[in-house]
Amino acid sequence: MIFYLAKPGSTEKARVAFPASFSEIKHVLYKLEHYEGGASSVRIQDAEGPAKKLVKYLRHAELEWQTGVDKLNRLARRFDSMDSETRELFFAVLDARITSSIYNVMNTLADFDQYELVHGVSTDQELGKWLVEQGMAGVYFPKPVLTYLDYAAIGAGYYADHDGAYTPSGYVKRRKTTQTQKEEEKTAFALTLASPASTHRLGLPASDDDLEQAKRALRLDDLDSAAIRDVEIDYPWAHLLDMDSITLQDAHILAKCVQEMTAQELRVFGAVLEAEQPNSFSDANLTAMYLDDYELVEDSEREYGREALRKAGADDEILDMLDGFTDFDALGRSEMEADGVRETSFGHVRRLSAPWPEQGPEIGQTMC
């Protein structure tokens, strides 16, 4: 994904390929500010290819901060993997939500696959005709009466009673899910929200319908003003999260990430939380987004040492020859320290991009 960064009113632009490191972005910001003579905000001004449509939603993304760059990196990875049909749906949901910030774009990225796009339907008239043709109008109409139907009235009535929106690409509506399915879904995350009027337990990740129901129950126009009275997270690593810094938005993002994790990934996430000890709930979200940068490794120092030799080219025959003449435990301990392996209650874990620094004597003590 290619974006062009510039200062407001400037003709000087910097071409940046995302995903990008924060150090790269800081270098670009420095060059632009130096060129213009003085510091001021830098914004996304343009893009290449399909990403051009994203510019209008991202003009206010704060690139001066690590969190803003991290969000754009995550967006770039997901967007670049989409096919044209998926991108069309993504843009349609963005249009339906009248999105205008990076936060709303990321929320849409987390749940836009719960929607579907009906092409060629952008008015009440077209919606009404489509409903009748699909047998979704709630009434069966014999063919002779079809020419006399008020399709606009049928469409307007349906539009008013359902969670959908017209966009330039067509009519966006939520996919059908049965009540039974919703009841059977396990709510691993839940927040109890409170307002002066009431309290409401909200399961996460929440749909737009769930959020609207919460607003009505709390008699609030915006859930950001609701207080978080209680947090329920049904995972063994929940105690490692900083609940004092939790927000509804951060909880929704993490719940969505966790929902898509495998059992092994959930264990890796617990190990990384214990090793990284994130300072805030938002930092824990970043850990979840970049979970593929970590892996669990052999708990046995002996097996870790043997695996290091395998990576160096030794086969099982050579390893058998070395057995009895090589201190595999000492080799494994040394390799673990070099790789920055950390011991946690979820298993031994290491970071792939930049190994954690050695912990000194404590690492030897915990791994002996």
Residues 311 and 361 in one domain: yes
Q: Average pLDDT over the chain, rounded to whole?
A: 81
68: in domain: yes
**259, 281, 304 — which closes off a domain?**
259
284: in domain: no
348: in domain: yes
- Percentage, residues of the chain above pLDDT 90: 23
Residues 170 and 214 in one domain: no
Q: How many domains does the chain have?
A: 4
Q: What is the CA radius of gyration of the chain?
A: 26
CATH number at residue 171: 1.10.10.1190
Q: Please report the pLDDT score of residue 40 as a whole number.
A: 55
Residues 202 and 243 in one domain: yes
SS3 for 129?
Answer: helix
- Percentage, residues of the chain above pLDDT 70: 81
Residues 172 and 212 in one domain: no
Residues 197 and 154 in one domain: no
pLDDT at 283 over 90: yes
107: in domain: no
Contact 328, 306 (CB under 8 A): yes
List of E strands, the chain: 2-6, 14-17, 43-47, 115-119, 164-167, 170-174, 189-194, 199-204, 227-233, 294-297, 342-344, 347-351
Residues 248 and 302 in one domain: no
pLDDT at 149 over 50: yes
The one-letter amino acid code at 47 reads: A
Centroid of chain to Cα 258: 10
SS3 for 94?
Answer: helix
Q: Residue 1 corresponds to which tokens in the numbers above? A: 């994904």
Among 154-158, 164-168, 284-288, 306-310, which stretch is predicted with the lowest mean pLDDT? 306-310
Q: Please report the pLDDT score of residue 361 as a whole number.
A: 47
106: in domain: no
For residue 160, what are the domain limits?
A: 114-177
46: in domain: yes
